[in-house]
Amino acid sequence: MTTLGFKAGVVLAPVGIINEFHEPPTFFGVERPDYHNVIIPTTWFGNGAAIFGSYKGLEYTFNVMEGLNNEKFTPASALRSGRRKGYMPDATDFMYTLRADYNVIPGLKAGASVTYNKARGDSTTMEFNLVELHAQFRKDGFHAVAEGAQISYNSGRVESSTGFYVDLGYEINKLFKSEWKFIPFVRYSSYNTAPTVRTNTLNPDSYAYNQIMFGINILPVDNVVIKADFSSKKRKSDDDETKSFNLGVGYMF
């Protein structure tokens, strides 16, 4: 079966697993993964248009949308502050994203995307490329997610930003009779928004973090989730550790 579609308006960048479908029941943890905060700036949206479709297990999207403001990029948050969010767009240089996903076997989908933009500020420009890989497996109560990405900048103080995370979970309600889903999970994350730099005034280790998280998602129905998680995040430069405990309730909207 072949499908072909078109959409335009305020669109979401088709980058990573969570950005296009970012409602709470679709991911583990009360907050979105740190990777989807600093490497892929979820939620990432703007004025644009996209062509999308599928053919024999292959899903594809070509997205064109407003560019970013390079003068808002920072070593600590990479692209995030450069988003124009639809209400202050600059269409001088469009951002282009090509994405493909393939249903490898039942329950396993893997894919990648490539994004390019000549990001324009008030007086300067900067080209960047974002390349990311992702995979998601759900079958017989097992859940696994893996994502990784690298951003390359052609100018500025920072040469690149990179990161990845892995989630593993299991529906323990498979072991006993329950209409609710109980999914304990574990996550490992590692990211650095400035691993390679063009100036000795920046210490790359100051932007490098490793995180381990344990938690549970409880779904009374598929569109409602009760969440809890505990995490420990360490900075490479000084082993500064941040511990957090979160509780949350979410729903599809």
Q: Is residue 240 part of a domain?
A: no
Is the pLDDT at 207 greater than 90? The verdict is: yes
- Of residues 43, 137, 26, 46, the one with CA closest to residue 86: 46
Q: pTM for this one?
A: 0.94
Domain CATH number, residue 109: 2.40.160.10
Chain centroid offset of residue 150 CA: 12
- Of residues 151, 176, 178, 181, the one with CA closest to residue 163: 151
Other residues' Cβ atoms within 10 Å of the Cβ of residue 20:
19
Q: Which domain holds residue 9?
A: 2-208
Q: Is residue 113 part of a domain?
A: yes
Q: Is residue 224 part of a domain?
A: no
80-88: long-range contacts, CB 8 A cutoff, minimum separation 24: 80/37, 80/38, 80/41, 82/119, 83/41, 83/44, 83/45, 83/46, 84/46, 85/45, 85/46, 86/10, 86/45, 86/46, 86/47
Q: Is residue 185 part of a domain?
A: yes
- Of residues 144, 150, 225, the one with CA closest to residue 188: 144
Q: Is residue 223 part of a domain?
A: no
How many structural domains comprise the chain? Answer: 1
Is the separation of the CB atoms in 46 and 85 below 8 Å? yes
Q: Is residue 235 part of a domain?
A: no
Is the pLDDT at 197 greater than 60? The verdict is: yes
Residue 190 neighbours by CB under 8 Å, 6+ apart:
163, 164, 165, 208, 209, 210, 211
Residue 108 neighbours by CB under 8 Å, 6+ apart:
135, 136, 137, 139
Cα distance between residue 211 and residue 132, in whole Å: 20
Residue 205 has a pLDDT of 97
Cα distance between residue 53 and residue 2, in whole Å: 7
* Mean pLDDT, the chain, integer: 96
Residue 226 has a pLDDT of 98
pLDDT in tens, 139-177: 999 999 999 999 999 999 999 999 999 999 999 999 998
Q: Is residue 247 part of a domain?
A: no
219-225: long-range contacts, CB 8 A cutoff, minimum separation 24: 219/25, 219/180, 219/181, 219/183, 220/179, 220/180, 222/25, 222/181, 223/25, 223/251, 223/252, 224/25, 224/249, 224/250, 224/251, 224/252, 225/24, 225/25, 225/249, 225/250, 225/251
Residue range 66-90: mean pLDDT, rounded: 93
Q: What percent of the chain has pLDDT over 90?
A: 95
Is the pLDDT at 2 greater than 70? The verdict is: no
Omega prior to 115 cis, within 30 of 0: no
Q: Is residue 236 part of a domain?
A: no
